[in-house]
Amino acid sequence: MHEFLANNRAELERRCREKVAQRPGRSASSVQLENGVPIFLDQLIRTLRIEQTPDPSASHAISGSAGGTSALSEVGASATQHGKDLLDMGFAVDEVVHDYGDLCQAITDLAVERDAPFQIHEFRTLNRCLDNAIADAVNEFSYQKELVTAEKLARESKERVGMFAHELRNILGTAALAFSAAKAGSLSLSGATGSILERSLAGLARMIDDSLLDVRAGDQHAIVLHSFSLSLFVAELAAAAHLAAAAKGCTLVVAPVDPLLALSGNRELLLSAVANLLQNAIKFTQPGTEVRLSAYGAANRIQIDVADHCGGLPPNAEATMFLPFAQNGADRSGLGLGLTIAKQSVHACHGTLQVRDVPGVGCVFTISLPRQLVPD
């Protein structure tokens, strides 16, 4: 058999490539097969040759022993790499088995065509080599798949915890500013500042309740969308943002809003989205300048603009600024999740969030949402 395989190696590789190419979603490039058929054929030929010598057991160092016992071998090492390569290229575990099965089928078909007689012990060796290669390739594929899945789950868990902490800190920060303002000015809690504090405490309670609901429902509860007044929405945002801007040494300018305008979405998610944009703008805008909040109708959409005076975006910042934990500015005091939360919240309400750079001045974040004729 080893002479047959050596003499027909090129034909066997060609047939394997053809079989792979016939499967949906697969092509058989030399890169994909580098640790598969070519190396395995070499190892199989060498194994068969050694088994013709007075010390046939020496072939186990190349192809492993029978019985499925895990042991270091050349076949195992290359099959392991082949399984990892297929996972990296996005293929399923059945492709690992098919690749070695293709070679077995190609050898059998060609042997019948050429009327090549093989000994029973040679077939046993072929089966042993294939069994060991498939086992090692599948084991590595499964192991790497579990690692990828575990890493993905850990990353998603980290993002969820980070976002929850980020939102809690935002609301708590607003509550602290309102309390400090009321205390410093001996203000009554029944006024506007007290209302900000009350809404902040209600927001904290709501976030905790929502997190408990996520745990009970497996994070599967639906997001409910409503229509509501745009002017009242902006007024609530502005009340808290004015305090934050004053603490930072800049000014918040709020453009007049048409009281007849209404938008559609989840109010709490959109409050969070715009609040994060305002916090980001206040954080990076230069002292003594202004942050501008504008909300207006544009055909069948509602546009909400948050413009700052940060001096303009760094090179290539637009490509990464909405990614989790991305921080492009010099101020790294946050988690880098505010813009990620904003974009996810807007998308959940069937809206879009875009940024436009104004070189030398700042940038403008624009939320676009479905427009309603009247609020609920």
Q: Where are the domains of the chain?
A: 2-154, 224-376
Closest-CA residue to 291 (of 326, 254, 332): 254
The Cα 44–Cα 48 span in angstroms is: 6
Tens-place pLDDT, residues 156-205: 777 777 777 777 888 888 788 878 887 777 667 777 778 888 788 888 88
How high is the pLDDT of residue 347? Answer: 92
State the Cα–Cα distance between residues 119 and 122, nearest whole angstrom: 5
Directed axis angle between helix 120-184 and helix 338-348, to 10°? 100
Q: How confident is the model at residue 40 (pLDDT cuts 50, 70, 90)?
A: confident
pLDDT of residue 296: 93
Decide if 193 contacts 183 (C-beta within 8 A).
no
Averaged pLDDT, 208-217:
66
Q: What count of Cα atoms within 13 Å lies in the side-chain half-sphere of residue 92? A: 5
- pLDDT category of residue 221 using cuts at 50, 70 and 90: low
For 224-376, CATH gives 3.30.565.10
Query: How confident is residue 112, by pLDDT bands cut at 50, 70 and 90?
Result: confident
CB neighbour class for 140 (10 Å; exposed up to 12, middle 13-18, buried from 19): buried
Cα–Cα distance, 370 to 227 (Å, whole number): 9
326 CA to centre of own chain: 13
What's the rounded mean pLDDT across residues 8-34? 69
pLDDT band for 294, please (50, 70, 90 cuts): very high
Which CATH number describes the domain made up of 2-154?
Answer: 1.10.490
Residues 328, 266 contacting (CB under 8 angstroms):
no
129-145 average pLDDT score: 80
HEC readout, the chain: CHHHHHHCHHHHHHHHHHHHHHCCCCCCCCCCCCCCHHHHHHHHHHHHHHCCCCCHHHHHHHHCCCCCCCCCCHHHHHHHHHHHHHHHCCCCHHHHHHHHHHHHHHHHHHHHHCCCCCCHHHHHHHHHHHHHHHHHHHHHHHHHHHHHHHHHHHHHHHHHHHHHHHHHHHHHHHHHHHHHHHHHCCCCCCCHHHHHHHHHHHHHHHHHHHHHHHHHHCCCCCCCCEEEEHHHHHHHHHHHHHHHHHHHCCEEEECCCCCCCEEEECHHHHHHHHHHHHHHHHHHCCCCCEEEEEEEEECCEEEEEEECCCCCCCCCHHHCCCCCCCCCCCCCCCCCCHHHHHHHHHHHCCCEEEEEEECCCEEEEEEEEEEECCCC
Residue 328 has pLDDT above 70, yes or no: no
Q: What's the pLDDT tens digit per position in 232-280? A: 999 988 988 888 898 889 999 999 999 989 988 888 889 989 999 999 9
Highest mean pLDDT (candidates 38-52, 170-184, 356-370):
356-370
For position 374, what pLDDT does the model report?
59
* Mean pLDDT along residues 18-35: 60
pLDDT given for residue 220 in this prediction: 52
- Give the count of beta carbons closer than 10 Å to the beta carbon of residue 106: 21
Cα 210 from Cα 261, distance rounded (Å): 29
Task: Using alpha carbons, select from 145, 33, 143, 28 the residue that is nearest to residue 88.
Answer: 145
Task: Say how many C-beta atoms besides its own lie within 10 A of residue 125's C-beta.
Answer: 23
What pLDDT, on the 0 to 100 scale, is given for residue 325?
67
Kindly state the average pLDDT of the residues 140-154.
77
User: How many other C-beta atoms are found inside a 10 Å radius of the C-beta of residue 77?
Assistant: 15
Closest CA to 265 of 347, 210, 204, 339: 347
pLDDT at 354: 94
Residue 300 half-sphere exposure toward CB, CA atoms < 13 A: 1
Residue 288 — very low, low, confident or very high, per pLDDT cuts 50/70/90? very high
Q: What is the mean pLDDT of the chain?
A: 80
Measured distance CA(192)–CA(138) in Å, rounded: 65
Mean pLDDT in residue range 53-81: 73
Q: How confident is the model at residue 35 (pLDDT cuts 50, 70, 90)?
A: low
Is 218 a residue whose pLDDT tops 70? no
